[in-house]
Amino acid sequence: MNLHDLRAAPAAQAWQARLQLRYERASGLTQLTRRKHTGPLLVQKAFHPEGSEVCHSLLVHPPGGIAGGDRLEIDVAVDERARALITTPGAGKWYRSSGPVSELHATLAVGSGASLEWFPQESIVFDGAQVRASVRVELAESACFIGWDITRLGRTASGERFGAGELRSRFEVLQAGRRLWGEFARIEGGAPLLQSPAGLAGHPVMGIFLVAGAVIDAGLLDACRAPAPRGDARWGVTAMPGVVIARYLGASAEAARSYFVELWRCVRPALLGREICLPRIWNT
């Protein structure tokens, strides 16, 4: 099946996939102890590039993109005192749809004293895509989450704009059952919001970098406000009780990720006691 076939596939041929992961720590070693999948969504191997304490995983969706009618579910549990980092091998793609919606829902549970670093590469929303995406982070007391979300509207490298379709997304963080933060968006292709100065102001790439469940003091917050993304972009860092959020709005997903990596470089030593360890896949 070629790429055109994937984008045009009717809902009857849609992928229904689910991935369940569990990380546990014993004797100072974090291991991926449960890895169950149905459909084309998997983690092939766990890595320990920075020693035994942090387990790195590469989340793979073999079809390479999400078509109309596809539904992907990800459930991650990081048990007490375990430490995990999850990324993806390349940009995610949301294909054009003739009507059926495409869905991806992730639930990320982080236990007491544990940490999860969630760094998927950018998502590209094709013109005409119908997207429903959500991330729900459930933190225990003293758990820490560091993550980002980067979205490009349209395949701008080939001159495409997000002129039709719809993106509905939600990203929420709870701790001990109490909502710390939630963001809910509905973006319609071709809507005035895309060009409005009060909206995206013509920028096709938007991203958030989020730290939750950890105490960030004034000095660390000032350090996070020092880096700036390259190019013509808007950015800012906001602190709320239990959450610090940085935003990027610009033309380049690469610039967004580079900016977020600098923020990660600021917060990781202070919160997790470790320097950053860039996944090798980002260099390919």
pLDDT tens-digit readout, 164-174: 999 999 999 99
Q: Helix H segments across the chain?
A: 3-8, 218-224, 253-272
pLDDT value for 50: 96
Radius of gyration of the chain (CA): 18
- Asked if residues 167 and 104 have their Cβ atoms less than 8 Å apart, the reply is no
Mean pLDDT in residue range 113-127:
97
Whether pLDDT at 227 is above 50: yes
The DSSP call for residue 66 is B
d(CA 8, CA 15): 13
Whether pLDDT at 7 is above 60: no
Q: Which domain holds residue 155?
A: 3-283
Domain count, the chain: 1
Q: What percent of the chain has pLDDT over 90?
A: 88
Q: What is the pTM of this model?
A: 0.93
Residues in Cβ contact with 36 at an 8 Å cutoff, skipping those fewer than 6 apart = 19, 20
